[in-house]
Chain A
């Protein structure tokens, strides 16, 4: 891809750890790409796989879901629900033609601003390599 492509990433972060982690990246004046659009939810366990598909449907090039590290969930086991969902969703997405780099589910604690910034940097770099997410179909209906 040309260098001019700027991927759009939807980041769905849990309120207690990952959003605080992203906040820490900001207050620590860490620089990371502005391609990520953050949506704060109370818990990563609340992220219905529909949200991820919907983000792609509405034009996202990548989706990042981040929760507390296993064992640290504010709601005790909310992030375990995320953990059980992720591999199944990844399988579904790859069969639907969505490249693995477009969906990432990570754990970021409130003290890991640096890690958050690095994850976003990596994701933007990977998405710039594979280019925009293109939906196919419909061209024969006109």
Chain B
């Protein structure tokens, strides 16, 4: 059997997804046995020309991590899609926008203003901002254009599978690798993770949920056996897909929602509004208002990993629209 041709690419991401692949430990050798890596910029030396020289459909699987936030990433996403038979959105950023997606609360101008002008550690008296083209004595230099918004991978190109997580856990990566190597692939569009919600598989004791308001993780030391929601912490478990192995819950921290919504949920934020409101005991509008105010930054909490994928922000690709 010829070896699989595997490409791993990163766009707007922190690099944690690439490290997660290395976290397969000794299994990484099995990956190397089964697959030839044709592109992996973080681990090996590749140039843009090495990719463009490849013919159409010559890559068997592309693991694409990171959201799309500038023109270079968009171009690379299209170039990889053209050359890959299977495209996997790898990690929460590629699947839903991830942490970089939170930039969608502001605009390109807002981001540049903060980063290059007003942040406390910046000294930029001339107010220099990055330019797509700048002329120097030696000629013209170009940079990729910074887009106004952050996009999920499937808003830019057609995606075959989704492997969520920040980062995806080793067992799911391995399950995906095995499925790919054996050719035993699930239907297109599948999310390689659980199908239930995180609460459904959570082992914490759940009794009575009756809250006046919520607290933040630094304000209490949570009981390690009891449901975190019952203790007043904003846990995204009710609206988040299972499959992460309860990494945060086991560390006594509430779920942040990095696996995205389960298949039946249209919008993770709306479902969390519904779930969290349902455990409040407010009986007047004033009490309800006060309880809501205890969640600082509601949208940022509920869409922590999925703002570009939220119903109110979701963008359809032209061929889907």
Contact = CB atoms under 8 A, between A and B. Distances in A.
Contacts of A32: none
Given A86-B288, A91-B298, A96-B299, A137 B270 contact: no
Interface in A120-137: 135-137
A27 B222 CA distance: 57
A76 interface: no
Interface in B263-284: 265-267, 269-271, 273-274, 276-278, 280, 282-284
A96 B319 CA distance: 26
Identify the interface centre among A88, A135, A136: most chain B CB within 10 Å of its CB. Answer: A88
Given A84-B282, A86-B288, A91 B295 contact: yes
B310 A136 contact: no
B149 A87 contact: no
Given A84-B280, A84-B291, A91-B295, A48 B311 contact: no
B44 to A, nearest CB: 30
A87 B292 contact: yes
B218 interface: no
B94 to A, nearest CB: 15
Interface stretch (A7-15, A17-25, A51-59, A108-116): A51-59
A138 interface: yes
A95 B314 contact: no
Kindly state the interface size class of chain A when it binds its partner.
20 to 34
Contact of B312 (A57, A90, A140): A57
B156 interface: yes
A98 B104 CA distance: 14
B283 A49 contact: no
Nearest to A57: B311
A86 B270 CA distance: 11
A100 B202 CA distance: 37
Contacts of A54: 266-267, 311
B187 to A, nearest CB: 25
Contacts of B297: 95
Identify the interface centre among B155, B156, B292: most chain A CB within 10 Å of its CB. Answer: B292
A88 B292 contact: yes
Contact of A141 (B156, B278, B291, B300): B156
Identify the interface centre among A56, A81, A83, A137: most chain B CB within 10 Å of its CB. Answer: A137
Nearest to A87: B292
A141 B269 contact: no
B288 A98 contact: no
Nearest to A77: B283
Identify the interface centre among A86, A92, A142: most chain B CB within 10 Å of its CB. Answer: A92
A137 B266 CA distance: 19
Given A56-B312, A57-B314, A141-B318, A89 B282 contact: no
Nearest to A90: B292
Contacts of B267: 49-50, 53-54
Given A84-B280, A96-B299, A50 B285 contact: no
B277 A95 contact: no
Given A140-B147, A141-B317, A50 B277 contact: no
A2 B255 CA distance: 47
A99 B96 CA distance: 25
Contacts of A142: 318
B289 interface: yes
B111 to A, nearest CB: 14
Given A53-B310, A83-B284, 11 more contacts: A49-B271, A49-B274, A50-B270, A52-B270, A57-B311, A85-B273, A85-B277, A91-B293, A136-B149, A137-B104, A141-B317
11 contacts: A50-B274, A54-B266, A57-B311, A57-B312, A57-B314, A80-B282, A87-B289, A90-B292, A95-B300, A140-B149, A141-B156
